[in-house]
């Protein structure tokens, strides 16, 4: 795990890249942020799973984003998780950057801190509800995950992260507020059938209406996609 600290004072924003070693956009964002000059506050940049990055794999022993809060005497990922929470403990906000093999609109993932989603200039918001299993990074810090389709260009990715940092007060610039659509995951679809689905598009199968999320994610072995309901009017998080 590599940690870079820059700036001083509040707010303290943590940016985590490569919780999954094969999602290399996180490393590119960290390298970019390392060179950016801040208007205010501090950044704690964490390149999470260097061992997995070196292997070009998602993880070494276990999925790091299922290992929190971690163990100081555990396996590779459990040790990283424990160290990472120590490094991030003074953060006011944490942004956790991921990429997906799914063809999808980029989206924000939230488990516990819905108030943060408005800081991220993306239209789609996915509430994981009980499906995060209470072992993801954002279950233990005041943060959100941002999921980019891996085909997204680098400039678009850094523009999105840059606007987040403007909205959080670390960079100068006008805040861009997106009108957001909220989706709540309530179940998973197993890989025992093979319909072709489109992420975030209303789908009806056997009288069940749902919105597929992360259909096409290669890292999901037994799961075809997550199933979500769309919250149309005034959204109240469960």
Q: Shortest gap between Cβ of 64 and Zn ion (angstroms)? A: 9
For 99, the token pair is 């990429």
Q: Shortest gap between Cβ of 20 and Zn ion (angstroms)? A: 4
Residue 13 or residue 19: which is nearer to Zn ion going by CB?
19
Distance between CA atoms of residues 150 and 103, nearest Å = 8
Residue 12 or residue 117: which is nearer to Zn ion going by CB?
117
Residue 59 or residue 200: which is nearer to Zn ion going by CB?
59
Contacts with Zn ion by CB under 5 A lie at: 20, 23, 98
For 130, the token pair is 């009980």
Q: What is the length of the chain?
A: 238
Q: Shortest gap between Cβ of 60 and Zn ion (angstroms)? A: 15
Residue 96 or residue 181: which is nearer to Zn ion going by CB?
96
Q: Name the residue number minimizing CB distance to Zn ion.
A: 98
Give the 3-state DSSP-derived string for 125-181, with helices as H, strands as E and coil as C. Answer: EEECHHHHCCCCHHHCCCEEEEEEECCCCHHHHHHHHHHHHHHCCCCCCCCCCCCCE
Q: Which residue has the tokens 């108030």?
A: 115
Q: Shortest gap between Cβ of 138 and Zn ion (angstroms)? A: 12
């Amino acid at each position: 795990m590599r940690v870079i600290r820059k700036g001083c004072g509040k707010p303290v924003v943590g940016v985590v890249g490569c919780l999954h070693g094969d999602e290399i956009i996180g490393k590119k964002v960290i390298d970019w942020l390392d060179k950016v000059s801040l208007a205010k506050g501090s950044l704690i940049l964490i390149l999470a799973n260097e061992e997995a990055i070196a292997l070009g794999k998602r993880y070494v022993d276990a999925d790091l984003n299922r290992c929190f809060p971690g163990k100081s005497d555990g396996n590779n990922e459990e040790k990283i998780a424990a160290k990472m929470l120590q490094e991030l403990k003074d953060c006011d906000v944490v942004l956790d950057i991921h990429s997906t093999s799914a063809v999808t609109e980029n989206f924000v993932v939230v488990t516990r801190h819905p108030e943060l989603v408005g800081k991220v200039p993306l239209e789609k918001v996915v509430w994981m509800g009980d499906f995060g299993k209470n072992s993801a990074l954002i279950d233990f810090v005041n943060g959100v995950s941002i999921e980019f389709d891996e085909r997204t260009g680098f400039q678009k990715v850094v523009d999105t992260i840059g606007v987040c940092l403007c909205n959080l007060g670390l960079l100068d610039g006008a805040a861009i507020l997106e009108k957001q659509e909220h989706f709540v995951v309530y179940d998973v679809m197993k890989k025992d059938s093979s319909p072709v689905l489109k992420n975030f598009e209303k789908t009806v199968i056997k009288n069940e209406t749902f919105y597929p999320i992360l259909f096409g994610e290669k890292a999901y072995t037994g799961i075809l996609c997550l199933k979500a309901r769309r919250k149309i009017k005034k959204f109240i998080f469960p």
